Amino acid sequence: MILAFSGNRFLIEDAAREALKARGLSLRELPRLGGEDVTPETLAPLLAPSLFGEAAALVDLEGVRPDKALLEALATPGALVVVLDPLGAATRVKHYLQHGEHTAVPSPTKTGEVALWVAARAKQMRLKLEREAALYLAEVFGADLAGISAELNKLEFIDEALSRDTVQRVVGREPPGDSFAMLAAATAGRPGEALGQLRRLLASGEDPFKLTGAVIWQYSLVARSLALLQEGGRVSENEAAQRLGVKPYPAKKALEVARRLSEVKIRVHLLHIQEADLAMKRGLDADKALERLLVQLSV
């Protein structure tokens, strides 16, 4: 019989562990095959009939392209084969269902989804994790749920409410920079926050020329958003997205900036952006040009 699991790597191991526990088995105790070792020849002796009960093995298909012979071997009669198949291709899922069970484990990918998963897991562990702390972990680890789980295990030793600051001190990572947040902070008169975003973006390997290009694009949306506001007063994010030809998120961010700026201020900012772009193209220090631009946008 096949017990197959597809989805996020960390979550499917978790799901497999729970499914085996319900059968009185331990995932850790199963012989495990992965990578180049996953062949019908290596699998056969593990699934051979035994006097000590049903034969069982765990097969990890990550990075493996199973052929017909291997799929047939997974369906060996009288044996239990736990299959970890993160991709879960439709043809393989059909085979799993013909010879057992298949579980598709929902995988959080967006920051908000990951934050909800973090909060739920922390609650399960009886951790006093605050909402902003869960969001921080989602920001710095992304979809690396195994990494987040390891940090939550560390936090079990802290007997107090786990705020964002407390968790950040333990984890020791800064959240990645956000070019939208950088521009929003600068235009809201918060140069320190904007420069902090820039520093994190550069530290993560972002190219300053690409960042300047992002600022030019984002600010063009801001200018066009202001024109929309002047036309109709109130403009929804979806309407702005449609008229600007962009997705709702950048439209939302552009509207937020446009609502607090005047046409005169935007014209001045556009001149500063043009000056920074020219300075970089003439060979001046790109990082310094960006820093100066953010300060100018915050005035």
98: left (phi over 0), alpha (psi -120 to 50) or beta: alpha
Q: What confidence category does residue 215 fall into, taking pLDDT thresholds of 50, 70 and 90?
A: confident
Among 50-54, 202-206, 293-297, the range of highest mean pLDDT = 293-297
Q: What are the start-end ranges of the H helices in the chain?
A: 9-22, 40-43, 68-74, 90-98, 111-124, 131-141, 145-155, 164-171, 179-187, 191-203, 208-232, 237-244, 248-258, 263-281, 286-297
Mean pLDDT of the chain: 88
pLDDT in tens, 6-26: 999 899 999 999 999 998 889
- pLDDT at residue 52, rounded to an integer: 62
**CA nearest neighbour of 163 among 217, 215, 127, 191:** 127
Please compute the mean of the pLDDT values over residues 248-256 and round it to a whole number.
86
What is the pTM assigned to this prediction? 0.60
Q: What confidence category does residue 81 fall into, taking pLDDT thresholds of 50, 70 and 90?
A: very high
Question: Does residue 234 have a pLDDT over 80?
Answer: no
The answer to which of 36-45, 114-123, 134-143, 148-157 has the lowest mean pLDDT is 134-143
Q: What confidence category does residue 211 fall into, taking pLDDT thresholds of 50, 70 and 90?
A: confident
**CA nearest neighbour of 113 among 237, 250, 8:** 8
